[in-house]
Amino acid sequence: MRYVLCIDDDREVLDTLARDLSWLGPEHRLECCQNAAEADDLLTEIEAQGDALALVICDQVMPGESGVQFLERLHARAPTARKVLLTAYAGLASAVHGINRSGLSRYLEKPWQPESLRHTLTELLEDYACQHAGDPALDQFARRDGPDLYAKVEAFSSHFAELRREGFYFWQRPLASGCEHVVRMPDGRSLLMLSSNNYLGLTTHPRVLEAARQALERFGSGTGAVPLLSGTLELHGQLEQRLAALKGGQACCLFPTGYSANVGILSALARDTDVIFLDRLVHASIVDGARACGARIRTFHHNRPDDLERKLTAESRRSPRCGRLVVVDAVYSMDGDIAPLPELLQVAHGHGARVMVDEAHSTGVLGERGRGIAEHFGLKEPIDLVMGTLSKALGSLGGFCVAPFPVVDYLRHYARSHIFSTSLPPATTAASVAALDVLEAEPERVANLRARSQRVRARLQAAGLDTGPSQTAIIPIIVGDQTRLARMGKDLYARGLYLNSVYYPAVPREQCRLRLSLMATHTEEELDAACDTIVEIAHRHGLL
């Protein structure tokens, strides 16, 4: 719940304010106080309930302390609340003096016009909602303690219900069509999709769809068992062989999802006597897998082989006989930058450490033929462990690990997310095999994706936007201020662009951003128009 607080020692003024604020929606609760002491007590109750103070309307003349003095005290307690000072005169000398210290948003002269009041307060409440669209972070809800496990749900539900009502809930927007470069929404609108990992546009490719249809007719909708029992089809073997060949490895093990692949691989291979070295920006599934196995976790600065060298050297001296595994992403999902893999491999292997690379965002994207990061760098020897997904450039669902035969055989018997999960459905498996066929037959899709990514990045940078270290089809636009980000995200959606708004804790607060994910099937005209719209909205909201 978000509170709107009115403070005036004149009861008639409070009654008038209450009448003129009758338009407030159910997400706001109006409270009136006649002095600062009452307001302080009410604010204590609001804080105890875990609710928020969104707006304060305070008279300049109050018994005991002035309105500006009260707002100065309040600002330390509720710095993001919007603050309006009521005054009976236009001079406002004392109010102007206190603006910086009190966080004063506006002043309002008595008597006011109801429509003017509504316009002013609506703007302030929307501004507050924008600033808090990404707050509080989800972990703040999860950390709420109490005897009832459902208690944490109430504050979470209330917060996100308000975001939905105010048009600032940017997640889980359902589609009424397949995820192509242009999508249809349930309200009939068509939007340019800039938020999908369907990099090569294969989810609706005729060859992929036909393979899925044939598998559905031949094998049915599911396998009905885990892989170790009766859940392995010849299709699974075909897919594993193709993926191993794609990555230049000996063998492959399939998993239900990319997340379960990372958790399964790490929890099977590492133990509490081992050490796992993680790039600080690796995917959450890698962090969860490392935690699940109980190994000691050491992090190194992002894409810094020199820092990895220091950490490995220190750990080798401390525990010379422990197993060591270095884990990195090939392409990082928030910035779209590429790991300096040759240097990382040299450092890791120099210390006897194995290297695991998450190729979720590089398969089908990096390399002339889309074979991934090894092709991109021209590596001659296979990577120790390659994890990948079928759900991004390959347009289906599932995860996999490519490694030497003994390692894959070990995973099939020790990776719990593989052992205790029903195997991939026939249609999904066949679609993935067909996607690999298309990748081989139509390498121009990879080239198109690369060219479009370079084009968009160049246009945005030329306009003065910060696209971070992006080198791939993932292109961030660093906004930094979450109020501005919320407003821009809302306006871009209204203008027909479906893209991501990324808040803390997914990225640091000062790095909140819009994130574009491009597809090979986007036309240059569509992307040029999208860039123009983004630049226009950036100017409108002061980012440029």
Which residues are tagged catalytic?
A: 333, 361, 392
Q: What span, in angstroms and rounded, lies between the C-alpha atoms of 211 and 213?
A: 5
Neighbour order of strands in the sheet with 500-502: 474-478, 513-517, 500-502
* Tokens read off for 301: 């600065």
Strands 251-255 and 399-403: antiparallel
Report helix, strand or coil for 183.
Answer: strand
Using CA of residue 107, residue 110, residue 115, residue 117, what is the dihedral sign?
Answer: positive
Specify which residues 252 forms β-bridges with: 402
Give backbone dihedrals phi and psi of 69, rounded to 5 degrees, phi first.
-65, -40
Report helix, strand or coil for 142.
Answer: helix
Torsion of CA 15, 21, 22, 26, to 10 degrees: -120
Q: What span, in angstroms and rounded, lies between the C-alpha atoms of 394 and 373?
A: 16
Neighbours of 310 (CB within 10 A): 14
Q: What is the DSSP letter of 468?
A: T
- In angstroms, the Cα distances linking 492 to 191, 480, 512 are 10, 17, 16
Rounded to the nearest 5 degrees, what angle is found at the Cα of 412, between the Cα atoms of 409 and 413? 95
Strands 190-193 and 497-498: parallel
Name the residue type at position 495: R
**3-state DSSP of 309-372:** HHHHHHHHHHCCCCCEEEEEECECCCCCCECCHHHHHHHHHHCCCEEEEECCCCCCCCCCCCCC
**441 burial class (0-12, 13-18, 19+ CB within 10 angstroms)?**
exposed
Closest CA to 56 of 65, 64, 42, 48: 42
Q: What span, in angstroms and rounded, lies between the C-alpha atoms of 254 and 491?
A: 41
